[in-house]
Amino acid sequence: EFYGKGAPYNALAGKDSTRGVAKMSLDPADLTHDIEGLTEEELKSLDDIFNNVYKAKYPIVGYTSRRILNEDGSPNLDFKPEDQPHFNIKDEF
């Protein structure tokens, strides 16, 4: 109800919107993985939201293509879910 078509947070769905979450922004320019230039407060907020909201409520079901594909679209053979930030495989299974 929050992330579907026409819902309030639909702009966050299907992409790495890390910057937007940290800034509490739905501005299209902020809907990116780029955290460069975020303040310490924004980074702390991001960590809190991820751990206390997203990770607490939703299972990890996939990753954005930026993590699993190379820039040319080929599979990133070095990708390992257990090496991803904030990911603890025991939390998910």
Q: 39: domain range?
A: 10-83
- Domain annotation covers residue 4: no
Check residue 3 and give its pLDDT: 84
- Domain annotation covers residue 88: no
- Domain annotation covers residue 73: yes
3-state secondary structure the chain: CCCCCCCCCHHHCCCCCHHHHHHCCCCHHHCCCCCCCCCHHHHHHHHHHHHHHHHHHCCCCCCCHHHHECCCCCECCCCCHHHCCCCCHHHHC
Q: What is the pTM (predicted TM-score) of this model? A: 0.65
How many domains are contained in the chain? Answer: 1
Is pLDDT of 38 > 70?
A: yes
pLDDT tens by residue, 5-36? 999 888 888 888 899 999 999 999 999 989 99
- Domain annotation covers residue 66: yes
- Domain annotation covers residue 68: yes
- Domain annotation covers residue 26: yes
- Domain annotation covers residue 93: no
- Domain annotation covers residue 64: yes
| Amino acid code (one letter) for 76 | N
pLDDT band at 41 (very low <50, low <70, confident <90, very high): very high
Check residue 77 and give its pLDDT: 85
Cα–Cα distance measured from residue 45 to residue 20, given in angstroms and rounded to the nearest whole number: 11
Check residue 69 and give its pLDDT: 81
Check residue 86 and give its pLDDT: 58
pLDDT band at 84 (very low <50, low <70, confident <90, very high): low
